Amino acid sequence: MNFLEGEIIYINKPLKKTSFDVCGKVRWLLCHQLGIKKLKVGHTGTLDPLATGVVVVCTGKKTKLIDELQQHTKEYIAMLQLGATTPSFDLEKPIDQTFPTEHITRSLVNEVLTRFRGEIWQVPPVFSAVKIDGKRAYEYARKGEEVEIKPKLLVIDELEVLHFDESAMQLEIRVVCSKGTYIRALARDIGEALGSGAHLIALCRTRVGNVRLEDCMTLEQFEAALPLMHISMNDANNNE
């Protein structure tokens, strides 16, 4: 393998680590293994810290493919808690409101989900990296400042119920969607459409394009495998 010239690595991101953290760890491991001081490393789509799953990492000249790879369809498995919301639409922030759920049935869930298949307009979360006047939305949100975030046109190719626990009011769904889809925002919108509220309590990205979760290594597995790899060493200037 030639990480200086460019390779694509599939990592299963752990809980509570950012995609940036993953790239930083991969960069450190490779620089240490190769005996170099710097290396271009980037990822093809951010995962929230409280999400796990597929992160596609590019090194060297393969970082030029990032924009192209970001366009790939993504698949997620998400667990929603119905009847309550949080400001971040996930477990990053505590519950701020609760809502009735007695009226929610499996048939209502099935009917509501049909509204979210195909092209939909979605307003990204305030706690997100969406840029507004040159700043990230979360920078405003963390200061308690209100900003207007414009809706985006997205495509939900597939949306299905995997499990619905009526006693706990927890809904597990599989989502296949286009670039830029916020599953946290989808949870919010599904909750509202159910005449209640909802937030994410678990999220795993199971596929990016043709790359599936089973194709990925954990960071620990990547670190253990590095010394066993046949790594080509060439002029580090190839990475400039």
Q: What residues act catalytically?
A: 48
Alpha helices in the chain (DSSP H): 19-34, 66-69, 106-113, 137-142, 183-193, 219-225
- Residue with the two structure tokens 């209502």: 108
Rounded CA-CA distance 55/118 in Å is: 25
Whole-angstrom distance, CA of residue 149 vs CA of residue 186: 15
Nearest-CA neighbor of 95 among 165, 203, 198, 202?
A: 198
